Amino acid sequence: MTSPTCRFCDAPLTHTLVDLGMSPLCETFLTADQLNEMEPFYPLKVWVCDRCFLVQLEEYVSPESIFDDYAYFSSFSDAWLEHARSYVETMIDRFDLTEDSYVVELASNDGYLLQYFVERGVPCLGIEPAGNVAEAARTKGVPTLVEFFDEHLARRLVEDGRRADLILGNNVLAQVPNLNSFVEGIKILLAPDGITTIEFPHLLRLMEENQFDTIYHEHFSYFSFGTVNEVFAAHGLTLFDVEELWTHGGSLRIFGRHSEDDTKPVSVRVHELLERERTAGLFDLTTYESFGRNVEGTKRKLLQFLIEAKESGASIAAYGAPGKGNTLLNYCGIRTDFLDYAADRSTYKHGRFTPGTHIPIFPPEKIAETKPDYVLILPWNLKDEIMEQLDYIREWGGKFVIPIPEVQIID
C-alpha cells in the first residue's frame, strides 16, 4: 500500500492528527427499505502534512458519488440565511457592486445567498454540483449551473466572455479534493480588479475547541490561515483581508485578489492572524500530537453521561441530523439504545434514518409530542437558535445537552 501524499504540496503524509475509525458518508440518509442492505464504511483517518501543515483526509469517495443527491439545504437555517443576507449587503456596499457587476458563487446550494443579489439586481451565477439542490435554487430565480468547479470550467466560462467581479464560496474549499485546480479556477475566472471571498471552518478553532465532529468524508481538507495563504499565493492570488466569523463553530472569511492588483493593500488583520497562529503552534508538528487524546476524552464523557441518564430511566432525543452529528454518533457508537429518535427541520430527512446508526428522523413537532427529558443538540454551532426554537421543553423540565467541546447540560 502506497502512502498518501499532500493534495497541495505533494509531500508524503506520515503524521496522524486523529483516527476516528470507520464511518459511512455523513449525508447518506437511509430509507426504511435500505436498512437491511449493506452499508459502506470508510476510514476517517486525518493526516497533517509536515511541510505545509494542511490537515486532510484521503479521497476515499469521489465528489460525484457524494454530491449526486445531496441532503443539505442551506435555507433550513434562519441564522444561516441572515448571515447570507448580511454578507450580500456588505459586499455591495464595500466593493460598489451594481447591475453592471457579475457575481459567481461556487457551491451555491439552494440559492440561499444569491437570491439576495437577485433581489438587488446584481447579475449572478450559481455553480452547484448537486442537481436536486440546484433545482431548488432555480425556483428562487437564481441561474445555476450543475457542475463541479475547477480550472477547466473556469476557462470555458471565460471563453464565453464571463469574468467575475466577485467570486464567493462558503464552506466549499474543504470539500474539494483537487484543491490546486479549484484555486487555479478562481485565478482564471476572476476579473483583473475583482475579489474573491471564501469561508471555511478555522483549523485553530477546531483544535482549540475539540470540534472533531466537523471531520467527515465530505470534508477533504481543514485549513489554518497560514496554509490557505500559502495555497492561494501559489496560484497568483494574495489574501488582503480576513474576518473571523461565528459560523460552524468559528470560521474565517478570506478576501483575495490577483497578486498583481496593488489597489487593495494587505490589512493588519492578515499579519495579526498569522502571528496568532504561529503563537498557537500551528506551524509546529508537536501541537497536533495531543488532539487525538482530547477527542478520546470527549467520547468517554459523552458516553458516561448517556449511560447514567439511561440507567436513571431518562428519555433522550437528538435535535438535528447534520453531517457533524453523524460523525459524532458513529465514532461514539450512539444508536437507538441511547437516542429514541432525531428531529430535524429538513423535510428531505423525514422518514429516513441516520447513516450507520439507523436513528429514525422526524419533524421537530415530535419533541412536543414525546416530551423527552433531554434533547441532545447535534448542530451545536446553531445551539442558540435551536434552544430558542425549543424553549417550550422547559414546560416539562426538559434539558438541553451540548456535546462539544465537552458535555454541557443546560436547563
Q: Is 27 among the domain residues?
A: no
Q: Say how many domains are in the chain.
A: 2
Q: Is 3 among the domain residues?
A: no
Task: Look at residues 245, 263, 283 and tell me which one is the last residue of a structural domain.
Answer: 283
Residues 278 and 320 occupy one common structural domain: no
Residues 268 and 354 occupy one common structural domain: no
More confident residue, 68 or 115: 115
Q: Is 222 among the domain residues?
A: yes
Residues 244 and 306 occupy one common structural domain: no
| Of 329, 327, 360, 357, the residue nearest 344 (C-alpha) | 360
Quick check: 372 and 398 in contact, CB under 8 A? yes
Task: Look at residues 224, 253, 283 and tell me which one is the last residue of a structural domain.
Answer: 283
Residues 129 and 261 occupy one common structural domain: yes
pLDDT at 68: 55
Q: How far lies 159's CA from each of 153, 155, 162, 167, 383, in Å?
A: 10, 6, 7, 17, 45
Task: Look at residues 253, 283, 313 and tell me which one is the last residue of a structural domain.
Answer: 283
Residues 244 and 171 occupy one common structural domain: yes
Q: Is 29 among the domain residues?
A: no
| Of 226, 239, 236, the residue nearest 198 (C-alpha) | 239
Residues 274 and 299 occupy one common structural domain: no
Residues 265 and 295 occupy one common structural domain: no
Q: Write down the mean pLDDT value for the chain.
A: 94
Domain with 362, as residue range(s), is 291-410
SS (H, E, C) 163-229: CEEEEEEECCHHHCCCHHHHHHHHHHHEEEEEEEEEEEEEHHHHHHCCCHHHCCCCCCEEECHHHHH
Confidence of residue 133 (pLDDT cuts 50, 70, 90): confident
Lowest mean pLDDT, pick from 94-103, 273-282, 288-297, 367-376: 288-297
Residues 150 and 236 occupy one common structural domain: yes
Q: How far lies 83's CA from each of 111, 199, 320, in Å?
A: 13, 12, 19
Residues 279 and 297 occupy one common structural domain: no
Count of other CB atoms within 10 angstroms of residue 160: 7
Q: Is 311 among the domain residues?
A: yes
| Of 379, 376, 366, 385, the residue nearest 409 (C-alpha) | 376
Q: What is the CATH number of the domain that holds 303?
A: 3.40.50.720
Distance CA 216, CA 208 (A): 18
Query: Using one digit for the tens of pLDDT, what is the confidence trace for 41-63?
Result: 999 999 999 999 999 999 887 77
pLDDT at 73: 55
pLDDT at 65: 66
Residues 128 and 265 occupy one common structural domain: yes
Quick check: 329 and 21 in contact, CB under 8 A? no
Cell numbers describing residue 110: 439552494
Q: Is 135 among the domain residues?
A: yes
Confidence of residue 70 (pLDDT cuts 50, 70, 90): low
Alpha carbon of residue 272 to chain centroid: 25
Confidence of residue 258 (pLDDT cuts 50, 70, 90): very high
Confidence of residue 64 (pLDDT cuts 50, 70, 90): low
- Edge-to-edge strands of the sheet including 399-402? 361-362, 342-343, 316-319, 374-377, 399-402, 408-410
Average pLDDT score over residue span 326-352: 96
Residues 251 and 359 occupy one common structural domain: no
Place of cell 458518508: 25
Q: What is the CATH number of the domain that holds 231?
A: 3.40.50.150
Residues 364 and 386 occupy one common structural domain: yes
Average pLDDT score over residue span 231-249: 93
Q: Is 59 among the domain residues?
A: no
Query: Using one digit for the tens of pLDDT, what is the confidence trace for 314-325?
Result: 999 999 999 899
Q: Where are the beta strands (DSSP E) in 74-171?
A: 103-106, 124-127, 144-145, 164-170
Q: Is 35 among the domain residues?
A: no
pLDDT at 66: 63
